[in-house]
Chain A
């Protein structure tokens, strides 16, 4: 049955196959055809006849197309000498656009790959920019240095971020010429009462009067120079001021802190937009308020961060040689007694954020510089994989474009012009991909921030980001377009028109080489993901030596609770479900002190981790005593003169467990008399599994900062409210701050977990892009070899046979790339696993799994196309031509 509309559609499609027709030409011809058909039908012709007559009257569509082509294209080719002018530029764009739309599958595969690649690169660039954007807003930033202490230890030196409060004045007084001023701040928390409302403020700093002169936080109200001069003054962040007082100017108003001290608000500051700071605070109070506290006056009480601003013209080299004598002056006696040196290390402000090696650097944000390199490299790899796709698809497709090149060269196009034409196409695709990527980044930024666990303060529309985007597009477009453009534009016209272009071995080799490269990168990333995951699972499954999910750790964070500690503990014990209670200095999975010790049989001063606890060590952690006994209230002398050490400490001190009992050990800072070892306890992990279990000295010294409750985990929903109720009873102002110890341990691996997520995500992206490319090539190959398949089928090959034939090649390629990836990955994995004291073996299994995954993915990608073509009736594939 004849369908007029279908026939017209088909006729239009045949027109579209010819280059030369522009938008509107075909519509115009269609309108002509329909007018003519109407007229013929009026004359009494059937629809079918009318269509035949009308279309034949219009004539040979190819000839018309050629005429059209002449009216639009010949001129620039013939008339210009250089080959390039504005007219030809618009022609480039036009032809590029046509090619883009004519081959929708290739174009979308190419653009999709590029979009994924560029989006990843943009995200990673944003992340890197954000990391590099710390502390850049301080006017005198290049003169500001953080004062750290380098401490000699038995085997290594460690650098500590905290100092004691007297350092500030000491430095200012001893180096009046070199240090313009110094400042210090102590991170703390506090409860602020406004009217009848209490606010828990976890970022409540104390700082001296120089703080806002050295650091350039913009002031909205008040005077930064004088704001913290007087005791009992406080400066609020903009957000905090709004939270307390709404739109009113808070300067001059009073806030009540911890229910006991009044502070007058003397200023409001803000963190400048689009920048980051390595420390964040909501309120900062005058540290002078606490001038008669021990932490303010004692050189040995390390609790603040100190910064020095050098005078103009003074370099680090000028002051560095003088610093040891400063330490000798104030710590000489101390250092002789401890038999070790402590020195000052001045760290430029711009390096503080990346100084993640600083120990005890409370409430300071640090980034890891190596992450920048790792992510930068990943971004580069993904872009390369996407670029390789582009090259491969373009050269593979060149067969179908050989005729175009032939025709155009015959019509007088020079190789240079064609070269620019193909480059224009590549650039155009890159820019379409760029615009899409930019949109994608804009829309998905919040998800990315969630994944990396940081808010990106850098503006996506900042000039340097736009510049980077355009730069990366141009480079990607140029590099990816270069090879295909050279290759395509070099076709010899006669050959291209007469024969079928077949690839020389060099082209095939390059293409295969590029795929090998892509899949080597993908394999590397997949193996990496598997190893990282295995290591993280290993860590979370590894026994710590106690049951962390049964322990709740409550921070003892206020004096009211401390004063009534025994009564509170009694109350906790009465709650059903609380099996054991204990108070201690350390926090399992969190903070532990280290002190210097004099130990029997040892001449040198030794450093040990310490835990100060009541008499419940073995009970609360469920630990076995290897020898001797645990603390016991029955022995009244235990609190002043007994010590328990762990197995690791016994090994460290060179004893056997039995020898250890009875030895004398003195904490040089806290105890006047030595303590006697009464028992050795089995090792347990009190810190991250990044490090080995360390020697631990446990005593009953009264320095309690955490309450640890051992609970039965049956009925948490009723247990937690009861615990909170008891806490509130004794600490009405401070809300309870508790956490499960297993969560606390999980937090130690936060950055590892985050790395794992980012790494996994980008690996998936890389492999997807690589598969996109393979898919495109497979489509092309399957089409090209459809006749071969037809012949094979006729000769009796089954679809399975065909698949085997076509997968063999892919298997070889992927296999080769995999074996290239393995040694590289093995080396990198070994490096990474070195970070962990407790790690998986870098075994074959991960590599085998990854190999299977990569090969399966490749086979699936290729087989889809092969099956599709293999399934078609050989009659169809062999009929034409």
Chain B
């Protein structure tokens, strides 16, 4: 699993509460369909994040009767995201200097 997954999920959840399937759709949309892992692999990451206290979850029953587990970001999550952002921007600036023009979303 790529190191980018955690900040990716946290960033999506920072925009608001969401559930697994929706998160996957967002990731795909944002990445232009270039991500290499299967849908199912998202869930262990979500659980790990929850275990670390970065996100919270609750079960919600949708209007058509389907149960969905909604995740939302916590303060710890926000902090981790901030740390990650800082790291990424510093790496980003270093690489930019080395490679010239910046490349987005590709480590």
Contact = CB atoms under 8 A, between A and B. Distances in A.
A628 B68 CA distance: 105
A251 to B, nearest CB: 69
B38 A32 contact: no
Given A59-B39, A71-B44, A32 B51 contact: no
B100 interface: no
For chain A, which range describes its interface: under 10, 10 to 19, 20 to 34, or 35 or more residues?
A: 20 to 34
A28 B39 contact: no
A28 B66 contact: no
A649 B30 CA distance: 115
Nearest to B1: A67
Contact of A32 (B37, B39, B45, B47): B39
A61 B44 CA distance: 11
A71 B47 CA distance: 7
Nearest to B42: A32
A206 to B, nearest CB: 76
B41 A63 contact: yes
A5 to B, nearest CB: 13
B21 A60 contact: no
A28 B51 CA distance: 16
Given A31-B67, A32-B21, A34-B66, A58 B51 contact: no
Contacts of B1: 67
Interface in B33-54: 37-41, 43-45, 47-48, 51
A682 interface: no
A57 B39 contact: yes
B39 to A, nearest CB: 5
Contacts of B40: 29, 32, 57-61, 64
Nearest to A63: B41
Nearest to A67: B44
Nearest to B69: A28
B39 A31 contact: no
A792 interface: no
Nearest to B62: A31
Interface string A48-81: 0000000011111101100110111000000000
Dominant secondary structure at the A interface: helix
B20 interface: yes
Nearest to B38: A59
Given A31-B21, A31-B69, A71-B48, A25 B39 contact: no
A35 interface: yes
A757 interface: no
For chain B, which range describes its interface: under 10, 10 to 19, 20 to 34, or 35 or more residues?
A: 20 to 34
A71 B51 contact: yes
Interface string B77-106: 000000000000000000000000000000
Contacts of A57: 38-40
Nearest to B52: A71
Contacts of B41: 59, 63-64, 67
Contacts of A68: 43-44, 47
Contacts of A35: 21, 66
A58 B39 contact: yes
Nearest to A70: B44
B21 A64 contact: no
Interface string A649-661: 0000000000000
Contacts of B51: 71-72
Nearest to A64: B40
A355 to B, nearest CB: 69
Contact of B67 (A27, A63, A70, A71): A27
Interface in A383-419: none
Contacts of B19: 31
A705 B35 CA distance: 106
A880 to B, nearest CB: 25
B21 A36 contact: yes
Nearest to B47: A71
B64 to A, nearest CB: 9
B67 A29 contact: no
B60 to A, nearest CB: 10
A31 B20 contact: yes
Contacts of A64: 38, 40-41, 43-44
B3 to A, nearest CB: 15
A66 to B, nearest CB: 9
Given A57-B39, A60-B38, A71-B51, A31 B44 contact: no
Interface centre among B44, B48, B51, B68 (most CB of A within 10 A): B44
A63 B47 CA distance: 15
A36 B1 CA distance: 22
A63 B44 CA distance: 10
Contacts of A63: 41
Nearest to B19: A31
A24 interface: yes
A260 to B, nearest CB: 83
A31 B47 CA distance: 16
Interface string A11-44: 0000000000000110111011011100000000
Contact of B39 (A27, A36, A71, A72): A36
Contacts of B43: 25, 28-29, 32, 64, 68
B11 to A, nearest CB: 20
B44 to A, nearest CB: 3
B38 to A, nearest CB: 3
B20 A32 contact: yes
Contacts of A34: 66
Nearest to B49: A71
B105 to A, nearest CB: 21
Given A70-B44, A71-B47, A31 B68 contact: yes
A68 B51 CA distance: 11
A57 B28 CA distance: 12
Contacts of B69: 24, 27-28, 31
B26 to A, nearest CB: 13
A106 B9 CA distance: 43
A34 B19 CA distance: 13
A58 B66 contact: no
A64 B20 CA distance: 14
A722 B107 CA distance: 111
A34 B44 CA distance: 19
B16 to A, nearest CB: 18
A428 B24 CA distance: 40
A29 B68 CA distance: 9
Contacts of B45: 67
Contacts of A28: 20, 43, 69
Contact of A58 (B38, B59, B67, B68): B38
A59 B1 CA distance: 14
A58 B38 CA distance: 5
A58 B39 CA distance: 4
B32 to A, nearest CB: 17
Contacts of A71: 44, 47-48, 51
A72 B51 CA distance: 8
A31 B19 CA distance: 10
Contacts of B66: 31, 34-35
Contacts of A56: 38
A186 to B, nearest CB: 77
A625 to B, nearest CB: 95
A449 to B, nearest CB: 49
A663 B19 CA distance: 112
B5 to A, nearest CB: 11
Contacts of B24: 32
Interface centre among A25, A28, A58 (most CB of B within 10 A): A28
Given A31-B69, A34-B66, 12 more contacts: A31-B68, A32-B21, A35-B21, A36-B21, A58-B39, A60-B38, A60-B40, A67-B44, A68-B43, A71-B47, A71-B48, A71-B51
17 contacts: A27-B69, A31-B19, A31-B21, A31-B66, A31-B67, A32-B21, A32-B40, A35-B21, A36-B21, A58-B38, A59-B37, A63-B41, A67-B41, A68-B43, A68-B44, A72-B47, A72-B51
Interface of A: 24-25, 27-29, 31-32, 34-36, 56-61, 63-64, 67-68, 70-72
Q: Which 3 A-B pairs have the closest CB atoms?
A: A59-B38, A67-B44, A58-B40
